[in-house]
Amino acid sequence: MLSLPTDHNWNTLIKLHDKTFKPYLKEEQILAAIDKMAQEIAKDYKDEVPLFVGVLNGAFMFVSDFLKAYQHPCEVSFVRLSSYQGLTSTGIVETLLDVSEELEGKSVIILEDVVDTGRTLKQLVHLFSNTNAKEFKIGALFYKSEIYNGEYAIDYVGLEIPDDFIVGYGLDYNEQGRNLREVYQLNKADMINLVLFGKPGAGKGTQAGFLKEKYDLKHISTGDVFRYNIKNGTDLGKLAKSYIDKGDLVPDEVTIDMLKAEVEKNPDAAGFIFDGFPRTEAQAEALDNFLESKDMKVNATIALEAEDDILVARLLERGKSSGRSDDQDESKIRNRFDEYNEKTAPLKAYYDKQGKFHSVNGIGEIDEITKRLSEVIDSL
C-alpha cells in the first residue's frame, strides 16, 4: 500500500508495505542540490564532452533532473547494480547492466543516487578501472559520510545526510516509493525498544524469543554479543579480551560500542530487546544517549518477577541437565539473586523516574507470561 502526500499536507506520514516514513527533503531542496552539482561539474568540464553514467534503478530521477540542469554538451549512459533487499544491504553487489558505450579517451562521471557504505561504489570503480576511459569521477546526490568507508573520493556531493533509511525520488523500499517527488525517512517513532530484566531462572531468554518473533524485534543479549566478537576476533572483541585477560572489567564504552554495532547492522528491525545491559545507572545513561543519537529511545523496561524459592527450585532442576555448576548449588544461586537485587535496584529507580519501569509476574504457564508481557508492550 502506498499513500501519496499532496502539496498541502507535507507533514503527512506515508506507508510503504509494513513501514511508515516521515517527510525529510522537499523537492525544491533536492533540485537546488542538483543544480549546485551541475554548476560545479560544468566549471570543471567546460572544455570537454563528459559521459555521465547513471546507476539504476535509484538514480533515474536524479539523472533526468541533472541533465536538465547541465546545459552543456554531454553524453549519457546507465549501469545497473543491486545490493539492497528491503531496508538492508545484502553485502553482495551484482552487475545487472554493464556499460555498453566505447569509453576510450572519455571523461566519465558516475552519478549515484546515494553513497553509504561504499560497497556499490567499489564495484563501480572496478568496472571503470578495467576500461580505457581518460578518467572517471563520482557524483553522489545523497552522501552518508558517517558510514562511508572512505576508500574512494566522492568528487561531487549534492546533500550530506545522516545514516537513516530513505525513500522517494528514485529510492525504494521493496520497489515501492520510487515515484515520490520528495524524500522520506523511516519513521522510528513506531519502534519498540525494551530492556528486559529478570533473575536467573525467571524465563527471560524464553520470553525474549517469543517477543522478538511476535513484534519483529531484534534480541540483543550482551553475553552473546561478547562471545561473538571475541570468537570472531573483531576489533572490539580483541579490545574486550585484552581487559578480560588482565582480569579487568571491560569498560562501559567498549560494551556500548558492541551494542551500537548490533543496532546499526539491523536497521530493518521494528525495535530491540536489550538483555543483560544496562547493569548500572551509568550504562543506562549511555544507552539512552546512544538511542537518542539515532532518534530512538527505550520505550519500557520490564522485570519478570518471581519468588526466590520458586526460582531456586527451577534452577536446581535445570542444573540436572544443563551441567552448569552454578545451577547445582543453592548457595551460589542465592548469591546470584543478591547480586541481581543489588544491581537492579538503582536501575529500577532510574527507569521509574521516566515512567518506564514495569513489573510482570513471571510465574505460570509460558503462554500466560507471554500474554502479560504483550499487554505491557501493546499499551506503549
> Where is the binding site for ATP, in residues?
201-206, 318, 364
Based on the residue annotation, tell me whether 119 is a catalytic residue of this protein: no
DSSP-derived 3-state class of residue 173: strand
The three cell numbers locating residue 273: 530487546
Where is the binding site, in residues?
A: 201-206, 222, 227, 248-250, 276-279, 283, 318, 324, 336, 364
Catalytic residue among 15, 214, 238, 324: 324
- The one-letter code for the residue type at 326 is D
Q: Which amino acid belongs to residue 294?
A: K
Catalytically annotated residue among 122, 294, 318, 372 = 318
The helix/strand count (H/E) of the chain reads as 11, 15
Please choose, from the candidates 168, 143, 134, the residue with its C-alpha nearest in 3D space to the C-alpha of residue 50: 134
Beta bridge partners of 3: none
First to last CA, the chain: 25
Identify whether 68 is a catalytic site residue: no
Q: Is 246 a catalytic residue?
A: no
| Cell numbers found for residue 24 | 525529510
> Is the distance from CB of 348 to CB of 357 less than 8 angstroms?
yes
Question: Catalytic pick from 106, 119, 199, 204?
Answer: 204
Q: Is position 353 annotated as part of the catalytic site?
A: no
**For this structure, is 318 an active site residue?**
yes
Active-site residue (options: 80, 336, 356, 372)? 336
Q: What residue numbers does the annotated binding site for AMP cover?
A: 222, 227, 248-250, 276-279, 283, 324, 336
Catalytic residue among 19, 106, 119, 279: 279
Q: Distance (Å, rounded) from C-alpha 279 to C-alpha 289?
A: 15
H-run or E-run covering 304 = strand 300-305
Q: Which three cell numbers stand for residue 307?
A: 519468588
**Mind giving me the DSSP string for 196-255?**
EEE-TTS-HHHHHHHHHHHHTPEEEEHHHHHHHHHHTT-HHHHHHHHHHHTTPPPPHHHH
3-class DSSP state for residue 316? helix
Positions marked active-site: 204, 279, 318, 324, 336
